[in-house]
Structure 1
Amino acid sequence: MRHFPIFLDLCGRTALVVGAGERAEAKAAALAAAGAAVVRHEGADLPTPEQLRSASVVFVCAGDPAQAAATAERATVERVPVNVVDRPDISTFVMPAIVDRGDVVVAIGTGGAAPVLARRIRARIQQLLPERLGRLAGFAARFRGTVKAAVPDFDQRRRLWERVLAGPIAEQVLAGREAEAQAAMVEAINRREAPPAGIVHLVGAGPGDPELLTVRALRLIEEAEVVIHDDLVSPDILSHARVDALRIPVGKRQGRPSTPQAEIEALLVRHARAGRRVVRLKGGDPFVFGRGGEEIEALRAAGIPFTVVPGITAVLGCAAAIDLPLTHRDHASALTLVTGEGRAGARPAMSAAPHQTVALYMGTRAAADVAQGLMAGGRDPETPVAVIENGTRPDQRVAFGTLRGLGDLVRADRGNGPALVVIGETVALARGAPEATSARQAACA
């Protein structure tokens, strides 16, 4: 380790930036954000010894190599730390790549040898660290004195902080639910050695492509001790769970035996009460036909802390996978999401008005009845439709047709994967749609 890492407090102190242009502007802005009193020297001459001595640190962004070298030499004589952009050989310190999470800052250095590598490492770390990590550090700081006064014993205090920062309280802060976290923290301080409580995260896994997971969803899956997952969640997504994580399938597939909802809710409560970090992993989004509302009611009733992580719902992922615009100023000004299966097999009710897109979830069995209902209500029988099976996945299959033939289309082209039905004028614009193909051929003729 050639360079000793250090964090410098520049709040209220002078930082001298020598040079002009984008790099100098960016450096000055970063220093000002750290609370420094920034002084700019943009001329072709050298800073005076008085300017250098009054500075706590000097950054040289001059385009003239001679001016940069002379400034660095003069700063060194005055014993002022100096950094010259892209010249670690004449700098007394080098700048790291920085991950800024408020009170939490991570610096990555390569000794000036490979700045691009440092930036690549920073990008990976940014993916791993929650955006609200600094808020968590601030939350801990606010309770530090209270905890020290309430728990004088150092070992007990350390164990308390370990439980807090690795448990539900920290997760609530990271989820932006600080009021709940504060109440739980007060209780934790009063109880001290109480058994740690678990937490449940309702996580949307999206339509199947792992790259469509949110950053937070991926982190929670990787940290979970128990993953209770839908049958629709792809193996590629489940592979991100820890090797030692308990994986419990609770499949819900149309027309097949499935785990009762009450049993799923009991599993969530039982494992959380055992102090485990539980991820309830759902295909698509937890609150779009995912029964997430029912599960948070059960968790609230049981006093279990929880968070909800949205996912890309099926119609958004499937439409993007085939370049199908769900709304369009010329063709569709509304989007309706309906499910083909309600309680007791109830069929969906929807408007048959034109110029709106209908996304039918879990609706292959109901497709023919839905089509008949729309046509009876006045929807054009020639309205384009698409049946998208295993959308966003490598085995994705798409069939195009019209509203008049939707029932036959579903029966003739139905595989074993989850399928979504999209009805509306914009389907004609999708990649592979007969109307879109004809339009492109006409344009090229």
Structure 2
Amino acid sequence: MDVSPPLRNDVFARMEPLAKLPVFWALEGRRVVVAGGTDAAMWKAELLAACGARVDVYAEMFSEAFEALLARAPDRLTPHRRPWSSTDLPGATLAIGDCDDDAAAFFAAARAAGVPVNVIDKPAFCQFQFGSIVNRSPVVIAISTDGAAPILAQTIRRKIETLLPRSLKAWAVLAQSLRETVNRRLQPGPQRRAFWERFSDCVFSTLDTPEEGVGGVLLADAERFAEAPAIGRVTLVGAGPGDAELLTLKAVRALQAADVILFDDLVSADVLELARREAKRLLVGKRGGRESCRQEDINALMVKLAKAGKKVVRLKSGDPMVFGRAGEEIAHLDREKIPVDVVPGITAASAMASRLGLSLTNRDHAQSLRLVTGHSRHGGLPDDVDWARVADRRTTTVFYMGGRTATLIADKLVEQGLPAATPVVIMSEISRATERSWRGTLAAIPEGIAQIGYDNPVLIAVGDALAARNTSSAIDAHLPSQPPRHALCKSLR
């Protein structure tokens, strides 16, 4: 049976628009021109010299710091104690100037000589820009805000600096020394990437530099990878409710290691943006009331891809183990002897509680939490729900996918003795910019679901614990909530 491609072929954009193209330029042994003897010109000259460039510097006067730099690096920096001339530019790889009075002339002369040019602090005369740099060379990270907020770029750099161990430099040097040997011993594709993923795991599992001989151990593993049969694996990954910041670190790692990502209709574009660029992305949407892939086709596609040696991520909204049909997929993969892992995600009920600032198990109101599906596979209420137990006043109950059955749910609970005045919250698209919510009572559920609508995923929470913050003046029981607000936005209100 041919199960490829899936029934839906929608895909999210692979690359958002870029203000500038990030490029890493090899300058070892190349001639670069710097015009100006200021501290600003000195910083650029020092950076260029650190890249191995031969820097010709033209200025009548040099700052004290620049003179000190010239004395420290005479083999890389050559001072010419005179103004720059257009005849100095031909043959240069780059031209950088700190020019106040003659910025336009320097820019024009460099352009005429065919040399890419940057005039410091003059965006109109810059063909390229310098970013803020995190240096673990040969690992180099550059951050740019397109000139809009240099201090922000520096702040981002500080954040990244705290995340990357100093030992990264030594590990990267080791990687360079191993690369040719690994490429000889391992075929491109899953085997080679599996080796480098294990190498990367070693890098970030310690703050220490690599021990002597670790390269040989890893190469021995490479030999085993080469001899092993090409067999992939499947990882079921929880994408959470939509906000990419709610992903676990393990989920991000899985997305960045995947060959193929089979994602559900409810997975947000922000989450997919974190995936490896080269990964093939296939929408296998399953959405109530809409055309969907059959579960049998999804199962068969996972097996086909894994048996072809692919690393497959089955990306599901929320948590794959909560109303995600993960059990069916795991059972099918087990029968086919396909290795399978599960990475949990934040389920919608947890995200709802966070957005409301409410404990669903507030000990003054609820001693238990119950998650219930709001519809059967045929679209109506499930036949096997014990409604008498669900109507327990000491329990908070959250109904998933209950938008179209909301009124029937309310009728069942009232019929089983739950007071019509029991607090209810209905939310849709939790944690996304389009999030909506309604607060009311069990009796008013028809009004609430009419306001929220049926088109997007709906969660219905019922129980006395939901009244814990009803006295807050910020809460209007019958109006949709504002979309999620970040801390900065809150502080500006």
**TM bucket normalised to smaller:** 0.5 to 0.7
Secondary structure at the counterpart of residue 167 of structure 1: helix
Q: CA separation of 1:376/1:433 partners in 2, compared to 1, >3 Å: closer, same or farther?
A: farther
Q: What is the TM-score of this pair, normalised by structure 2?
A: 0.53
Q: What percent of counterpart residues are identical? A: 41
1:309-348, aligned counterparts within 5 Å? Answer: 309-345=343-379, 346-347=382-383, 348=385
Partner of 1:208: 242
Does 2:455 match 1:428?
Answer: no
Shift of 1:364: 1.0
Q: Name the structure where helix makes up a greater proportion of residues.
A: 1
Matched to 1:342, the amino acid is S
Mean Cα displacement is larger for which, 200-209 or 238-247?
238-247
1:182 corresponds to: none
Task: Kindly provide the CA deviation profile for residues 18-53 of structure 1, in whole angstroms up to 9, marking residues without a partner as x.
Answer: xxxxxxxxxxxxxxxxxxxxxxxxxxxxxxxxxxxx
**One of 251, 259, 262 as aligned partner of 2:285:** 251
| Paired AA for residue 159 in structure 1 | L
2:439–2:476 contact (8 Å) kept in structure 1: no
Tell me the distance in 2 between the aligned counterparts of 1:376 and 1:169: 60
What is the CA distance between 1:195 and its match in structure 2? 4.4
Q: Provide the alpha-carbon RMSD of the alignment.
A: 4.2
Matched, 1:235 2:269: yes
What secondary structure sits across from 1:252 in the alignment? coil
Distance in 1, Cα, partners of 2:474 & 2:465:
10
Match of 1:408 in 2: 447
Matched, 1:379 2:413: no
- Structure 1 equivalent of residue 337 of structure 2: 303
Query: What are the within-5 Å matches in structure 2 for residues 10-159 of structure 1?
Result: 120-125=159-164, 158-159=185-186
Rounded to whole Å, the distance in 1 between the matches of 2:312 and 2:303 is 9
1:167 aligns with 2:167: no
- Separation in structure 1 between the aligned mates of residue 164 and residue 371 of structure 2, nearest angstrom: 37
Question: Which of these residues, 360, 366, 369, is aligned with residue 405 of structure 2?
Answer: 366
- Alpha-carbon shift at residue 280 of structure 1 (Å): 0.5
Counterparts in 2 of 1:265 and 1:187: CA distance versus 1, 3 Å: farther
Aligned counterparts of 1:187 and 1:437: Cα–Cα separation in 2: 61
Q: Which residue identity is paired with 1:381?
A: A
Would the alpha carbon gap of residues 120 and 271 (structure 1) be closer, same or farther in structure 2, given more than 3 Å must change? same
Offset at 1:199? 1.4
Report how far residue 355 of structure 1 moved: 2.3
1:318 match: secondary structure: helix
C-alpha distance after superposition, 1:90-136 (max 9, x if no partner): xxxxxxxxxxxxxxxx9x9xxxxxxx99974454337xx9xxxxxxx
Shift of residue 221, structure 1, vs aligned partner: 1.1
- Aligned residues of 1:385 and 1:427 also touching (Cα < 8 A): yes
Q: Contact 1:207–1:318 (CA<8 Å) still a contact in 2?
A: no
CA shift, 1:248, in A, is 0.8
Q: Distance in 1 between matches of 2:288 and 2:224?
A: 48
What SS does the corresponding residue of 2:186 show, helix, strand or coil? helix
Aligned residue number for residue 102 of structure 2: none
One of 389, 393, 396 as aligned partner of 1:354: 393
How many Å separate the matches in 2 of 1:219 and 1:259?
Answer: 27
How far 1:259 sits from its partner (Å)? 0.9
Residue 310 of structure 1 and its aligned partner are, at CA, apart by 0.3
Contact (CA 8 Å) 1:167, 1:199: kept in 2 or not?
Answer: no
Determine whether 1:396 maps to 2:435: yes
Corresponding position: 1:290 with 2:324: yes
* Alignment-mate amino acid for residue 364 of structure 1: G
Tell whether 2:259 aligns with 1:225.
yes
Conservation of the 8 A alpha-carbon contact between 1:168 and 1:197: no
Deviations 1:132-180 (A, max 9, x none): xxxxxxxxxxxxxxxxxxxxxx879942999667339978x98xxxxxx
TM-superposed CA distance for 1:375, in Å, is 1.1
Residue pair 1:324, 1:431 contacting (<8 A) in 2 also? no
Q: CA deviation at 1:273?
A: 1.4
Instruction: Report deviation, 1:415.
Output: 5.3
Structure 2 stretches of 5 or more lacking a match?
1-45, 47-138, 142-154, 169-180, 202-219, 478-493
Q: Secondary structure at the match of 2:164?
A: helix
Q: CA deviation at 1:380?
A: 1.0
Conservation of the 8 A alpha-carbon contact between 2:436 and 2:452: no
Task: Look up the equivalent residue of 2:441 and give its one-letter code.
Answer: T
**Offset at 1:244?**
2.8
- Give the direction of change, closer, same or farther, for the CA distance of 1:117–1:206 in structure 2 (3 Å limit): closer
- CA gap of 1:326–1:155, structure 2 versus 1, over 3 A, is closer
SS at match of 1:386: strand
Per-residue deviation at 1:437?
A: 6.4
Task: Give CA-to-partner distance per residue, 1:253-310, whole Å, 9 cap, x none.
Answer: 1222211111111111111111111111000001000011111111111111121000
Q: Secondary structure of 2:444's partner?
A: helix
Distance of 2:472 and 2:460 partners within structure 1: 14
Match of 1:266 in 2: 300
After TM superposition, the structure 1 stretch with the greater mean CA deviation from structure 2, 342-351 or 194-203, is 342-351
Deviation, 1:205, is: 0.4
